[in-house]
Amino acid sequence: MKKRKLGKSNLEVSAIGLGCMGMSFSYGPPADKNEMISLIRSAVERGVTFFDTAEVYGPFTNEELVGEALAPLRDQVVIATKFGFKPDPNGGTRWSVLDSSPEHIKEVAEASLKRLRTDVIDLFYQHRVDPNVPIEDVAGAVKDLIQQGKVKHFGLSEAGVKTIRRAHKVQPVTALQSEYSLWWREPEAEVIPALEELGIGFVPFSPLGKGFLTGKISEDTQFDKTDFRNVVPRFTPENRKTNQAMVDLIGKFAKQKKATPAQIALAWVLAQKPWMVPIPGTTKLHRLEENMGAAAIELTSEDLRQLETATSKISVQGARYPEELQKLVGR
């Protein structure tokens, strides 16, 4: 697996990382823990060095899983986790309660270190911007953790450009994590140019459109009742039917390249900038191997031009988030 550096930082990771959220949370019931430990270790054997988790995934169980899986391989990998949500005191998974107060950030860091079975967090992201806490205070709290040797790098997730600039002045931001794919290209307008200017890496999550760009989801697909996609406007049966045009187009292109739609979608992200590292998630070994195969696909400038021309004619239907979650992004 080829390596990439996230922006101007010295943080070098595999060109494709592994998003671990879906193993415990959001896409139906949690997968079998032992199987997921095996999958994570198989990823390391195959050259993946970048693993993404968060306190809120579970909550807590995903960090515990990642920690247990990677403890024997800790010196070979980079672990990213996130702070910024306050767990529901009733044990539910309420996402709306934000807390990025400096004291809370430091508490989360200590708890995450224990769950991850490590003495340092490689990349610590603010999960969503907290409008009640100045970003300078957030960056300052992470700066303190870096000076104490508990964190190596500071990241932001789904932040707007003004926030990124303000944070970066206090503590250099190593990476921004936001959704980006062939069917969600909003970051190209302002965010990606700002990251390039500031030398910040970009970690696209959902680079396969929450599974849709693999071509394995149709208007008839029934999601488990606990699956987050049930509340995503883009995934209503009507919108899936309309959005199939995008998948069909990627599929045609994939056939020409003797690749799968997922591989083309990931190769497209990799071709955008050398400092982008997508983190597709999976619970299946054959999908992991398929995704990793994308790193070996070279899309020429002509390939990219053709994809650009064809996809620009397709209007993707449906918002990427329900309204209450959309309010948390781009601040």
Within a domain: residue 219? no
Q: Is the pLDDT of residue 78 over 80?
A: yes
* CA-only gyration radius of the chain, Å: 19
Q: Which two three-digit tokens encode residue 35?
A: 């199987």
Dihedral of alpha carbons 154, 24, 230, 130, sign: negative
**Start-to-end C-alpha separation, the chain:** 35
pLDDT digits (tens, 9 = 90+) for 261-304: 999 999 999 999 999 999 999 999 999 999 999 999 999 999 99
Neighbours of 238 (CB within 10 A): 10
The predicted structure's pLDDT at residue 94? 57
Q: Find the CATH number of the domain harbouring 92.
A: 3.20.20.100
The predicted structure's pLDDT at residue 98? 93
Within a domain: residue 236? no
Within a domain: residue 311? no
Name the CA dihedral angle for 51, 44, 65, 269, rounded to a multiple of 10 degrees.
Answer: 30
Over residues 128-156, the mean pLDDT reads 98
Compute CA distances 16 → 134, 152, 169, whole Å: 32, 20, 28
The alpha helices in the chain, defined as continuous H runs, are 33-45, 61-70, 102-115, 135-147, 161-170, 191-198, 237-256, 261-272, 285-293, 301-312, 323-326
Within a domain: residue 174? yes
Over residues 208-228, the mean pLDDT reads 96
Which residue range(s) make up the domain with 144? 3-209+272-298
Domain total for the chain? 1
Q: How confident is the model at residue 324 (pLDDT cuts 50, 70, 90)?
A: confident
Within a domain: residue 117? yes
Q: How confident is the model at residue 209 (pLDDT cuts 50, 70, 90)?
A: very high
Within a domain: residue 180? yes
For strands 50-52 and 78-83, give the pairing. parallel
Which residue numbers are catalytic?
57
Q: Is the pLDDT of residue 35 over 60?
A: yes
CB 55 within 8 A of CB 108: yes
pLDDT digits (tens, 9 = 90+) for 41-64: 999 999 999 999 999 999 899 999
- Residue found by looking up tokens 């070994």 in the block: 285
The predicted structure's pLDDT at residue 1? 93
Q: Which two three-digit tokens encode residue 305?
A: 């031009």
Q: Give the three-state DSSP class for 258.
A: coil
Q: How confident is the model at residue 97 (pLDDT cuts 50, 70, 90)?
A: confident
Q: Is the pLDDT of residue 29 over 70?
A: yes
Q: Give the three-state DSSP class for 276.
A: strand
The predicted structure's pLDDT at residue 92? 59
Neighbours of 61 (CB within 10 A): 16
pLDDT, averaged across the chain: 96
Q: Is the pLDDT of residue 174 over 60?
A: yes
